[in-house]
Amino acid sequence: MTNWSLSVLLESLHDDIHQQLETARKSFGHPVSKGDASETIWLELLQKYLPKRYEAKKGHVVDSNGTFSQQIDIIIFDRQYSPFIFNYKGEVIVPAESVYAIFEAKQSLTADHVKYAQEKVESVRKLHRTSLPIPHAGGVYPAKVPINILGGILTFESDWSPALGLALENALKKDGGSLNMGCVAAQGYFNFLDTTKRYEFVAGGKPATAFLFKLISELQFSGTVPMIDVLAYSKWLTPTT
């Protein structure tokens, strides 16, 4: 008989992330260092456990009109069909058509951080995305409508008590709301349900692992990003007169 336990394995995944985030909070004295450490921990989790068709990086998003997003802590984008990713000296630029999801990573969950994450999300969602018809053996599929880009926030703790209560719900709904999901590793996770148009808050348990599974599920239902019009970007190669 095997001595493996799936329950233990999944619990250990959460415990590892929780411990790393707690260590970063306690060990780093400078806020920027704490923030950078938190981003790295979440990025490493996603880079390790997301299916290989997805990539997770910190960077900017650009569209074919030459408009750039704000800097994004975590961009989850397509690596199977994306024709180019600009990466120079650690600066990553992702075409808008390739983006599946974006997240802001913070040490704690506050109203200001929720608002900040919402602004980051909107800076990506407002970008122009091309979509071409897709040729296949029997003809051509019509151009695909660009997918809804998921947006969220990832933290270690919450400044609210309870962490996933009315205060968080009000902050998420303010200004129309634009965050689909998020995780407070020490206390729970949340996600927006399209069926009921309401937020679901799940407290306790092993939030980091539960959130990871929920994110993968949401990405599966997102389908595949549209076929990018590469030539729309090539116009920037032509010198202006």
Q: What is the pLDDT along the chain (241 residues), one digit of tens a residue?
A: 568 888 888 888 888 888 888 887 777 666 666 667 889 999 999 999 999 999 999 999 999 999 999 999 999 999 887 777 888 778 899 999 999 999 999 999 999 999 999 999 999 999 999 999 888 787 888 888 899 999 999 999 999 999 999 999 999 998 777 899 999 999 999 999 988 989 999 998 899 999 999 999 999 999 888 889 989 998 888 665 5
Tokens of 198: 């309401």
* Domain range for 79: 26-234
In a domain, 12, yes or no: no
Q: Is 73 a catalytic residue?
A: yes
Q: Is 218 a catalytic residue?
A: no
In a domain, 21, yes or no: no
Helix (H) or strand (E) segment spanning residue 94: strand 91-95
181 Cβ contact list (under 8 Å, min separation 6): 150, 152, 189, 190, 191, 192, 211, 214, 215, 218
In a domain, 8, yes or no: no
Q: Is 119 a catalytic residue?
A: no
In a domain, 1, yes or no: no
Helices vs. strands in the chain: H and E counts, helices first: 6, 13
In a domain, 228, yes or no: yes
In a domain, 95, yes or no: yes
* Catalytically annotated residue among 39, 55, 63, 73: 73
In a domain, 13, yes or no: no
Dihedral sign, Cα of residue 78, residue 52, residue 188, residue 198: positive
Q: HSE (CB half, 13 Å, CA atoms) of 240?
A: 1
Domains identified in the chain, total number: 1
* Catalytically annotated residue among 63, 104, 206, 214: 104
* Catalytically annotated residue among 34, 57, 106, 214: 106
pTM: 0.91
In a domain, 2, yes or no: no
Q: Identity (one letter) of the amino acid at 57?
A: K
